[in-house]
Amino acid sequence: LNQTFNVYGYDQVVIVEDDLEVAPDFFEYFTATLPILKADKSLWCVSAWNDNGKTGLIDENAVELLYRTDFFPGLGWMITKDLWKEIGPKWPRSYWDDWMREPAQRQERACIRPEVSRTKTFGKVGVSNGLFYEKHLKFILLNNKFVPFTAMDLSTLIKDNYDKNFVAEVYKTKVYSLEDIKKGLNLPSRESVRIIYRNRDSFKKISKSLGIMDDFKSGVPRMAY
């Protein structure tokens, strides 16, 4: 990264591990989100990855859907030269992904991530990936459709716009208990619903029941916002 930014003089870089397959619109996605990343100082990265992006947990038809997340996803991600100037001098020798998730680095900033992942890992062995590849990573769905993101208005991802819409979208949904969901009682067929958790333990219980990742990193649940 020092070579890329300081010697070659690039202003941004997309970091891709050598065990990743990429989607047809991978570069289109990063090209379109770069202006948002540069304009919104509450963002610090764009990621191609959804940690909960398995079939049955995502809307496979909503390939254009993008979110903000407080959780650093990695697995195909873009940062700017300005960010590297900030974090590069203190870059760790190992476990850099969890280091990136620490409050000292994140500083309340968010990343952009997709509903349907634009990368898929095929690497079983690795410092971070090998621990749960077989039971999780290999089931992440890779998008196979080209979305013309550069022709779309992505200003909805800027914090003020996004937060207003996000809060409205969340609180217009009806609240159900985990038991309601499991039993399928009176659930709307295609509408979003809301389950409320009160603490870490209740989040873990709900997450395990729904099949989504239940871990926290530096106090932030995976893919949370």
Interatomic CA distance for residues 225 and 223, integer angstroms: 7
Q: State yes or no: is 201 an active-site residue.
A: no
Cβ contact 123:65 at 8 Å: no
Annotated catalytic residue, options 97, 98, 180, 214: 97
CA atoms within 13 A on the CB side of 208: 7
Instruction: Look at residues 108, 113, 119, 109 and name the one whose alpha carbon lies nearest to residue 223.
Output: 113
Interatomic CA distance for residues 13 and 111, integer angstroms: 15
Structure tokens at 29: 């996605």
Structure tokens at 85: 């100037």
The CA angle 197-199-201, to the nearest 5 degrees, is 95
Cβ contact 96:138 at 8 Å: no
The CA angle 195-67-163, to the nearest 5 degrees, is 75
Active site residues: 97
